[in-house]
């Protein structure tokens, strides 16, 4: 562990060097720590305990012991606690915005408008659903009960550090489940504050537990633990396969939200200025670190020169800079490994013959993990940059000669998470969307919706989150006859 730089983070997340198990903040038993790095400055801003399988075991047992009582807690009481969580979360807004900007690099404007706003939206939606949710009803002469599945093991990523936490934890608590959370060791400090919010709101001991640490030690222990009934994982496809393998030993339910290589089909009757500009912005959202980002832009071959011009101009509006400056539209990628990965993909695109419209692999700043926003054109479907998830501000423009070809290129992918269609009418856009093998499709720049199920086809995962579908992942169905 290196010396920590004095910063607001060390004050805002006062329990950062502890685990939260069975309602108590406890020192990590390994005695080892993992540094948290500010990707804008490459400085150490905090540290967390390197968790162990033994700590996961204690947390899982605490969650199991708390389950019987929490699962029988009246809905009104669960609502009261969740409403207190929401109020406590809003009271910590400034702390959370500052911490997330420091730990994952997002500009503070984006941290406030998305990294904070999205989990708040998730919590408020969960409360709305819980107020009217039917846990028991009759259908065709059968009494049907939807009961909490048990203990949820939640393993979350660093790109949307609190939104993914909220998507797993809050529906779990709302439905009567108990939870063991392992946030990403790259961006854990916001989850420490989130845990402080849950504690202050009166979530009973053992109902929620936080075990920090690395994936091989803590994540794998969660995935394979016999007291955990559902493991909900968001991350890479490679890691998701490992989670599934370990979870199969106890035949637990697995929800996976994994990688993506989403296509953005711009049809010939679309508004190209709006479509291309929005497509670049969508690709660069969160510095390109979004699993459903529209990183493949499919355009009519005859309009390619026009698209290149618009895309280059749009990309020029994104300037890399430190997150706390508050004036930049593009922060750094979050990890040093990610920086090298993205730069290598850009070099590979050039090597394989793609046309570099703007950007490149040269460093975008003297310090920090900054990538120059990049646009490639004349990309063919077999190129690496058209097939693999880059997770950085890199757009690939591909061409098509017919609507059928555009759909075929879109579906020729191992992924199927998100998608965009731009068309002259919503009806035409929906007709194309119905042919896309992907879990979500946005027509003409439609906004996200808290009740829209989120999840993927193929190797983008299985199961759904958000809204009502996020509730149902946490429930078992019982039929009572007679």
How are strands ordered across the β-sheet holding 208-210?
A: 24-27, 18-21, 208-210, 178-182, 151-155, 230-234, 253-257, 461-462
Which residues, in sequence order, are CB contacts of 236 under 8 Å at separation 6+? 258, 259
Q: Is residue 382 annotated as a catalytic residue, yes or no? A: no
The rounded distance, in Å, linking the Cα atoms of 172 and 229 is 12
Q: Is residue 291 annotated as a catalytic residue, yes or no? A: yes
The rounded distance, in Å, linking the Cα atoms of 354 and 351 is 8
Retrieve residue 310's tokens.
């618009």
The rounded distance, in Å, linking the Cα atoms of 457 and 12 is 39
Q: Is residue 391 a contact partner of residue 288, using CB atoms and an 8 Å limit?
A: yes
Retrieve residue 303's tokens.
């309009």
The rounded distance, in Å, linking the Cα atoms of 385 and 389 is 8
Which among 253, 296, 320, 459 is positioned nearest to 390, based on CA atoms? 296
Retrieve residue 225's tokens.
């633990």
Q: For residue 217, give Cα distances in angstroms to 51, 55, 148, 312.
A: 7, 10, 27, 44
The rounded distance, in Å, linking the Cα atoms of 288 and 294 is 9
- Consecutive H or E run containing 155: strand 151-155
Catalytic option among 47, 177, 283, 291 = 291
Beta-sheet pairing, 355-358 with 374-377: antiparallel
Catalytic option among 220, 257, 308, 473 = 257
Beta-sheet pairing, 394-400 with 374-377: parallel
Helix, strand or coil, per DSSP, at residue 270: coil
Q: What is the CA radius of gyration of the chain?
A: 22
Q: Is residue 294 a contact partner of residue 283, using CB atoms and an 8 Å limit?
A: yes
Bridge partner residues of 144 (DSSP): 137, 479
**Which residues are known catalytic residues?**
257, 291
């Amino acid at each position: 562990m290196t010396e920590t730089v004095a910063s607001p983070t060390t004050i805002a997340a006062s329990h950062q060097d502890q685990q939260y198990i069975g309602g108590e903040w406890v020192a990590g038993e390994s005695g080892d720590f993992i540094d948290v790095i500010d990707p804008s400055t490459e400085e150490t801003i905090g540290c967390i305990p390197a968790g162990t399988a033994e700590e996961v075991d204690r947390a899982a047992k605490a969650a199991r012991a708390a389950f019987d009582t929490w699962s029988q807690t009246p809905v009104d009481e669960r609502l009261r606690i969740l409403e207190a969580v929401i109020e406590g979360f809003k009271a910590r807004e400034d702390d959370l915005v500052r911490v997330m900007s420091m730990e994952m690099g997002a500009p503070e404007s984006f941290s406030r408008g998305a990294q904070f706003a999205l989990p708040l939206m998730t919590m408020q939606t969960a409360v709305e659903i819980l107020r009217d949710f039917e846990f028991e009803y009759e259908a065709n002469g059968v009494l049907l009960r939807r009961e909490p599945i048990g203990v949820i093991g939640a393993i979350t990523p660093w790109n949307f550090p609190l939104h993914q936490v909220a998507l797993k934890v809050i529906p779990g608590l709302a439905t009567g489940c108990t939870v063991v959370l392992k946030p990403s060791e790259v961006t854990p400090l916001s989850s420490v504050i989130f845990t402080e919010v849950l504690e202050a709101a009166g979530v009973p001991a053992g109902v929620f537990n936080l075990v920090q640490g690395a994936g091989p030690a803590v994540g794998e222990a969660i995935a394979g633990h016999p007291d955990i009934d559902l493991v909900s994982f968001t991350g890479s496809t490679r890691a998701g396969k490992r989670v599934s393998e370990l979870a199969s030993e106890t035949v637990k339910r697995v929800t996976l939200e994994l990688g993506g290589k989403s296509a953005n089909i711009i049809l010939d009757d679309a508004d190209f200025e709006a479509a291309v500009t929005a497509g670049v912005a969508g690709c660069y959202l969160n510095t390109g670190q979004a699993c459903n980002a529209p990183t493949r832009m499919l355009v009519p071959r005859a309009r390619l020169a026009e698209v290149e011009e618009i895309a280059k101009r749009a990309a020029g509006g994104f300037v890399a800079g430190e997150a706390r400056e508050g004036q930049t539209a593009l922060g750094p990628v979050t990890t040093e490994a990610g920086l090298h990965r993205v730069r290598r993909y850009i070099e590979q695109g050039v090597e394989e013959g793609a046309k570099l419209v703007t950007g490149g692999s040269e460093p975008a700043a003297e310090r920090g993990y900054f990538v120059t926003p990049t646009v490639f054109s004349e990309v063919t479907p077999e190129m690496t940059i058209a097939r693999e998830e880059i997770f950085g501000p890199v757009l690939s423009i591909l061409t098509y000669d017919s609507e059928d070809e555009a759909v075929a290129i879109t579906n020729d992918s191992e992924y199927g998470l998100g998608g965009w269609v731009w068309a002259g009418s919503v009806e035409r856009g929906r007709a194309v969307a119905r042919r896309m093998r992907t879990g979500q499709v946005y027509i003409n720049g439609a906004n996200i919706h808290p009740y829209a199920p989120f999840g993927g086809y193929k190797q983008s995962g299985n199961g759904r989150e958000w809204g009502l579908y996020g509730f149902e992942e946490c429930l078992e169905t019982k039929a009572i006859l007679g």
